[in-house]
């Protein structure tokens, strides 16, 4: 699942996970978990990144996902939500999956406007991390993350477009209509 924050990636990933009976790896959950539980460098970095309203640098995000893939014991199928967010992460993922004897089958890009993304995220009002009283979804933090997403998105989309696995979905529809569009796109019943 790919798209700006607030596009419904998490909701649609859960629905697709249920339909396919495969696990979900969520970038935001990995970062929030590291911020709440990791007492080392990566935890410090994740806490600071969350406060600044930015994304974790590529090398560190790659490490978090590599740990999750190895710890998760996933052999062939899973859904990724919010990863990769840069072409460097996409190349890392491509290499790692090749090592595991698999590949990305489909990238579902959920498109929404920035106005809609802001509206949805402000309503969601997530904390920075578990136990935090500070909001992750403040307007300034949201705009910072959306700006960074917009800077990187075209390279990532082009990477997957060239591989022939990119599918664009209008995510400003109802949850059920977006789910139906995803199922139709993937030829699932």
Q: Which CATH class is domain 9-185?
A: alpha beta
The model's pTM: 0.83
What's the pLDDT band for 5 if we cut at 50, 70, 90? confident
Sign of CA dihedral 53, 58, 59, 61: positive
- Give per-residue pLDDT as tens, 56-105: 999 999 999 888 877 766 566 889 998 999 999 999 999 988 888 889 99
Distance CA 154, CA 36 (A): 32
Q: Where are the domains of the chain?
A: 9-185
- Give per-residue pLDDT as tens, 122-166: 888 777 777 777 777 778 888 888 888 888 899 999 999 999 999
Distance CA 1, CA 7 (A): 10
Residue 167, pLDDT above cutoff 80 = yes
Distances (CA, A) of 3 to 56, 76, 130: 17, 23, 24
pLDDT at 58: 94
Q: DSSP strand E in the chain: where?
A: 24-26, 79-81, 107-111, 166-170
What are the residues facing 168 on neighbouring strands? 109
């Amino acid at each position: 699942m790919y798209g700006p924050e607030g596009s419904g990636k998490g909701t649609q990933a859960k629905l697709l996970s249920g339909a396919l009976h495969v696990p979900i790896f969520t970038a935001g959950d990995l970062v929030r978990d590291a911020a709440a539980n990791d007492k080392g460098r990566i935890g410090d970095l994740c806490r600071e990144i969350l406060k600044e309203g930015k994304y974790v640098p590529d090398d560190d995000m790659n490490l978090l996902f590599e740990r999750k893939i190895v710890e998760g014991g996933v052999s062939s199928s899973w859904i990724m939500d919010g990863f990769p967010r840069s072409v460097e992460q996409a190349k890392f993922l491509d290499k790692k999956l090749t090592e595991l004897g698999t590949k990305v089958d489909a990238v579902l890009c959920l498109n929404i406007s920035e106005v809609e993304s802001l509206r949805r995220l402000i309503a969601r009002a997530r904390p920075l991390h578990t136990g935090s009283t500070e909001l992750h979804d403040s307007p300034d933090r949201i705009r910072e993350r959306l700006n960074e997403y917009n800077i990187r998105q075209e390279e990532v989309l082009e990477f997957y477009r060239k591989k022939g696995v990119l599918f664009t979905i209008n995510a400003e529809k109802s949850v059920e209509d977006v789910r139906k569009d995803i199922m139709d796109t993937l030829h699932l019943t």
